């Protein structure tokens, strides 16, 4: 998407979800690259939600509920702007 590989895309809501584990995102370069990508995608109108490996596995119900709320809010916002 816009030159980037993303973990999950909710196109209708203009939302990207990134699943962040330490193994693939450790180090200063990866950290900086991730933030640069987030800013670029925001410039194209896509918000990014980052879910850590620990949160996904320790509190999956909480993460799912939060993501549903975010998607519902984004749906309303994008709909109000005309998509």
Domain ranges of the chain: 8-81
pTM: 0.83
HEC readout, 17-74: EEEECHHHHCCHHHHHHHHHHHHHHHHCCCEEEEEEHHHHHHCHHHHHHHHHHHHHHH
How far apart, in whole angstroms, are the C-alpha atoms of residue 48 and residue 13? 11
| Predicted local distance difference test score (pLDDT) of residue 6 | 94
pLDDT digit string, tens, across residues 35-46: 899 999 999 999
Compute CA 23 distance to the chain's CA centroid, rounded to the nearest angstrom.
18
Q: What is the mean pLDDT of residues 70-81?
A: 92
pLDDT digit string, tens, across residues 44-63: 999 999 999 899 999 999 99
Q: What is the mean pLDDT of residues 50-78?
A: 95
Position 28 pLDDT exceeds 80: no
């Amino acid at each position: 998407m816009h030159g980037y590989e993303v973990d999950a895309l909710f196109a209708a809501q203009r939302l990207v979800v990134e699943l962040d584990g330490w193994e693939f995102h450790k180090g200063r370069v990866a950290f900086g690259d991730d933030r640069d990508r987030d800013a670029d995608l925001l410039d194209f109108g896509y918000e990014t939600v980052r879910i850590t490996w620990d949160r996904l596995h320790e509190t999956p119900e909480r993460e799912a509920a939060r993501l549903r709320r975010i998607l519902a809010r984004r749906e309303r916002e994008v709909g109000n702007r005309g998509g």
